[in-house]
Structure 1
Amino acid sequence: MSGQTKEQIISAGKKLVDAGLVLATWGNISCRVPRSPYFLITPSGMPYAQLKPEDLVMVGQKGQVAEGMRKPSTEVLMHLAIYTARADVQAVVHTHSPYAGSFAVAREPIPVILEEMAQLIGGPVKVANYGLAGTEVLAKYTVEALEERNAVLLANHGVVAVGTSITEALTVAFLVEKCAQVMLRAKALGVPYTMGSRETQRLRENFLKHYGQNKKGGGAD
């Protein structure tokens, strides 16, 4: 099963590069190994286009390398902290996307402006306090700002997206970038209408209850 997970991580990395959400070797991706206490993470400083399954690193519950010949991403502590705090999270995607990065630099959260944002992210994308990359401080601030939502901005750094699968975490990463772009364009037209917490909660609950082929009814597309 870890072999399939490795291929999914590599594929996700290539999609991030193709979409311009990361450049060169920046950003990182991880995913829990099914039915085990470990997670797989991309290696430090290696181009996504060149990654092979054997380049991915398996990490244990204390942050130790359990398997692999490469050095894990420098943000391994952040990934570990998220998995420790959120049992529901199965995958983490960290990007340096430009539009969302603008909000991270301004240290301005992205409010809920689209239904899909409420449905998939579960609320506004808040900004975590600044912490040096790769440190326990950044890991702590990330978890605190993420709370129970599926995305967070890292001040002057980038975006962290999480999900119940690599596919969902990747979708969240793309959605955050889309919402940032829409928000900036809407501001140019006037004052954007942002959705309230009650609307957001109803959309999120309806999405979780009804969206998908295995669920009945629905209010999502």
Structure 2
Amino acid sequence: MAKTLALPKEQLVKHALSQMQNTLADNTWNTRQKLALTCRILFEHGHDSGLAGQITARGPQPGTYYTQQLGLGFDEITAGNLLLVNEDLEVLEGHGMPNPANRFHSWVYRARADVNCIIHTHPTHVAALSMLEVPLQISHMDLCPLYDDCALLEGWPGVPVGNEEGELIAGALGDKRAILLSHHGQLSTGGTVEEACVIAQLIERAAKLQLLAMSAGTIKPIIPELGREAHDWIARPKRHAAAFNYYARQILRQHADCLN
């Protein structure tokens, strides 16, 4: 006989969270491997734009972070060819040079002690939406980890290789997890590589759904308290890790070399 059909939602949520915490397995990849996996995941899910975009994660010492070499596409990144750089973009480990646009990552890391990974890409639907200078509209349950958690930079400051752009982007991001950059692309952050990867995946899907919905009619908003509830329910470390692990299993069937 069923024992839970009369339980209130609050109690069912608490039970489910406990189950997730005790059941969903963590992965054992190191930071370099997670970054390489993230590059391949994003490549396969529409974030590839030639050599545009940077993916970084904090390094072993303050003021350092890992990033990819300029000249390599996301599908060519491995754990072994990543660079370790400092805030001046000087290479501390590895060979080659980082993308000069990595400079604004330093400003975000300085402003946000809670951020350990930054993903900046120019995926098709995000790029298209960015041309309209309109906010990302979260009006579907699956997208709620971004509910009231995605900022908008309305103006385009130009090529982001100067310190001015770093200050502007970090300031516009504020305390949000992500930001839509007008006439540019997106920036997603996370306390973990896994979280940043999942947020980046989500913002491109959100942009695609928004463009589809806008072409059909007027997007109807969801009730704010329900949006916040769904945000807090989905946007949890265990959920992000489980989603990342799923994406990684998919990718490793074709991109097993990225862990080398």
Residue 53 of structure 2 corresponds to residue 23 of structure 1: no
Residue 163 of structure 2 corresponds to residue 136 of structure 1: yes
Instruction: Give TM-score scaled by structure 2 length.
Output: 0.71
Aligned to 1:147: 174
- 1:89-122 per-residue CA deviation (whole Å, 9 max, x = no partner) reads 1111111111111121111111222334333564
| Structure 2, unpaired ranges of 5+ | 1-28, 241-260
Q: 2:137 aligns with which of 106, 111, 115?
A: 111
Determine what percentage of the aligned residue pairs are the same residue.
Answer: 20
Confirm or deny: 8 A CA contact 1:128 1:141 kept in the other structure.
no
Aligned to 2:96: 70
State which drifts further: 185-194 or 112-121.
112-121
Q: Distance in 2 between matches of 1:187 and 1:197?
A: 20
Q: Distance in 2 between matches of 1:195 and 1:59?
A: 43
Larger radius of gyration: 2
Instruction: Give TM-score scaled by structure 1 length.
Output: 0.82
Amino acid at match of 1:171: V
Q: 2:186 aligns with which of 159, 162, 167?
A: 159
Q: Runs ≥4 in structure 1, deviation > 3 angstroms? A: 34-37, 61-65, 115-118, 195-213
- 1:132-188 per-residue CA deviation (whole Å, 9 max, x = no partner) reads 222222212211221111111222111111111112111111111111111112122
> With CA pairs under 8 Å and 6+ residues apart, which has the higher RCO, 1 or 2?
2
| Structure 1, unpaired ranges of 5+ | 214-221
State which drifts further: 34-43 or 10-19.
34-43
Aligned to 2:17: none
- Tell me, what secondary structure is at the counterpart of 1:193? coil
- 1:39-96 per-residue CA deviation (whole Å, 9 max, x = no partner) reads 1111212123333434322123555433332211222211111111111111111111
Deviation at 1:126, TM superposition (A): 1.5
Q: Distance in 2 between matches of 1:176 and 1:119?
A: 10
- Tell me, what secondary structure is at the counterpart of 2:48? coil
The 5 Å alignment of 1:1-221 reads 4-33=30-59, 36-61=62-87, 63-120=89-146, 122-133=148-159, 134-195=161-222, 198-207=225-234, 212=239
